[in-house]
Amino acid sequence: MLDLSHGRSVDAARAARAGERAESGCGGPRIVEDRVRVVIAEDSVLLREGLTRLLTDRGHEVVAGVGDAQALIKTITELDAQGELPDVVVADVRMPPTHTDEGVRASVELRKTHPGLGVLVLSQYVEERYATELLAGSSRGVGYLLKDRVAEVREFVDAVVRVAQGGTALDPEVVAQLLGRSRKQDVLAGLTPREREVLGLMAEGRTNSAIARQLVVSDGAVEKHVSNIFLKLGLSPSDGDHRRVLAVLTYLNS
């Protein structure tokens, strides 16, 4: 899953909760995660309850579960008015009444009206237009996953936490489709084949160390490639840690 979060920024309320940890029971793998507050928007009661169980079993708090986009917006508005805005919304792309794009439309609206709210949308299959809409504007606190990815429990929960903390999570299938489209463009013509390879691995959420292991090169070599990518894409040091996000978004949105 795509993880572009480096140097995460969390508000005071989230920082206070970050010290609360949850670990799995005996016999299973040890899981330690930042505790986050979640609202789930999913019209399938079975899936909504399943998501709730996955998250609460790992120490997170599901503060509300709703079945349509209108209820989602109403719930977030009410929680915000009470000073209880959650960290992240997990929403289905398609919800009642038409089961077309109500969920993603509500998610895009919430990103505009509540900039500090993380939004992670779930879809049955890759819909490039929706992914692009979600990535438009600020790239912080946004995710797009296929529903099949929920079965990979650890990765799914990690994605929820990452988005809640201002990071980014994209399903590998989404990345593959968007990268396939962008390769037809010339915006990255200045990159060497190796730099393109490094940028592609960055888009999959790999850290520099993970990229080095994948390519069987030194960490220093990867850092040099990443610096060259930033330079060739015109991303100055003043952009700070967001340069990694901006580099991949340039790739995806070219």
Q: Which residue has the higher pLDDT, 160 or 186?
A: 160
Residue 149's pLDDT is 81
| Pairing relationship of beta strands 37-41 and 61-66 according to DSSP bridges | parallel
**Tens-digit pLDDT profile for residues 141-159:** 888 888 888 888 988 999 9
| Per-residue pLDDT, 31 | 41
Structure tokens at 203: 């888009």
E strand or H helix that includes residue 203 = helix 193-203
| More reliable by pLDDT, 236 or 153 | 153
Highest mean pLDDT, choosing among 15-19, 80-84, 103-107: 80-84
Kindly state the percentage of the chain with pLDDT values over 70. Answer: 73
Quickly tell me which residue has 């840690």 as its tokens: 241
Task: Answer whether 111's CB lies under 8 Å from 137's CB.
Answer: yes
Q: What is the pLDDT of residue 60?
A: 96
Determine which of 115-124, 149-158, 176-185, 241-250 has the lowest per-residue pLDDT on average. Answer: 176-185
Instruction: Indicate whether 27 pLDDT > 60.
Output: no
pTM metric for this prediction? 0.63
